[in-house]
Amino acid sequence: MDQITRMRCFLKVADHKGFSAAARDMGRSKALVSKYIGELEDELGVRLLNRTTRQVSLTEVGEAYYKEASEILQRLDELQVSVQSSQQAVRGRLRISAPRSMGDHLFNQAVMEFLAANPDVTVDLRLEDRFVDLVEEGFDLAIRVSELEDSSLIARQIAPFRTVVCATPQVLEKYGRPLVPADLGTRPCLIDTNYRFKQNWAFQQNGERVSVSVKGPVEVNSPSAVRDAALCDLGFVRTPLIFVADEIAAGKLEIVLEEFEQPMRGIYAVYPHRRHLTGKVRAFVDFLVEWFGTHSYDPCRGR
């Protein structure tokens, strides 16, 4: 029995949280699946699964092995698909899920430019602020900006994602430039309610996460709306850089508290590890990486 087969068997058991369901999915007997897992654990010298009479769960080392094995097998699968479909045209229907706020800004433009360059592809783009189940709902991929906790998904970063606090020069002159995050508690702030913690803005100070309670004249679930409010001199705004990059470059808005920003996250294209990448998905993700590389402008840190 080769190592790759044992690894695939382990992933199936972990995905199904049981031997019986995994065996049915693989078309093998439960006893044989149990044997494969036992051989894998013996070879590694560790226990990967906690077994009870009712369920199976991953051990701590099993979780780490699951992540690495998923990525290894995904790369092998992609290599095989890449070789098999190297001459395959990019065509077909592409189902994509993305946050509404991103679609209303840069992402729509990227999608339309991809379609213009690939006339044999059609797109079903769903813009909604929820985490869709890619497999259950039949999506080819999703665009997400978050920490990725679902180990059944493969993610490829397509762009960095930086969040900044900024205001117009007029607001800075009127209220003064904040020197530490706590200063925002006494200044008018414009709140994008898309953020999980809404009125509580998080920063990094002295190596620790700090939260500042803010308030102001505007609360709205739109980064474009809070940007427009900021341009009307209504207060300070905390928003993704991609929504205010042009205004910052033009001097209409100025970044403050830069040294207290939390570490940058990323914009990711995610897809199920069990699904082979088709030519259309691979081409689209590659296109997004290149496109965001030339359109995501950071006036402070370069492109």
pLDDT in tens, 147-198: 555 556 788 888 888 899 999 999 999 999 999 999 999 999 999 987 777 8
Q: Are strands 49-51 and 121-127 parallel, antiparallel or unpaired?
A: unpaired
Amino acid 303: pLDDT:
43
CB atoms within 10 A of CB 149: 7
| Contacts (Cβ under 8 Å, ≥6 apart) of 21 | none
Instruction: Supply 2's token pair.
Output: 């080769």
Place of tokens 């998923």: 70
What are the pLDDT digits (tens) for 63-105?
999 999 998 988 888 887 766 654 456 888 999 999 887 766 6
Within 10 Å of residue 193's Cβ, how many Cβ atoms? 12
Closest CA to 63 of 47, 77, 74: 47
The pLDDT score that the predictor gives to residue 296 is: 61
Give the separation between CA 301 and CA 291, rounded to whole angstroms.
18
Report which of residues 86 and 35 the model is more confident about: 35
The answer to whether residues 72 and 101 touch, using CB atoms and an 8 Å cutoff, is no
**What's the CA gap between 195 and 204, in Å, rounded?**
17
How confident is the model at residue 107, as a pLDDT?
84
Between residues 252 and 56, the one the model is more confident about:
252
The tokens for 123 are 């797109």
User: Is the distance from CB of 194 to CB of 220 less than 8 angstroms?
Assistant: no
Q: Could you report the per-residue pLDDT of 199-215, keeping only the tens digit for each?
A: 999 999 988 999 999 99
pLDDT for 1-26, tens place per residue? 588 889 999 999 999 889 998 999 88
Give 166's strand partners.
237, 255
What the chain holds in terms of domains, given with CATH numbers, is 3-84 (1.10.10.10), 92-159+265-295 (3.40.190.10), 163-260 (3.40.190.10)
Left if phi > 0, otherwise alpha if psi is -120 to 50, otherwise beta: which for 79?
alpha
pTM: 0.60
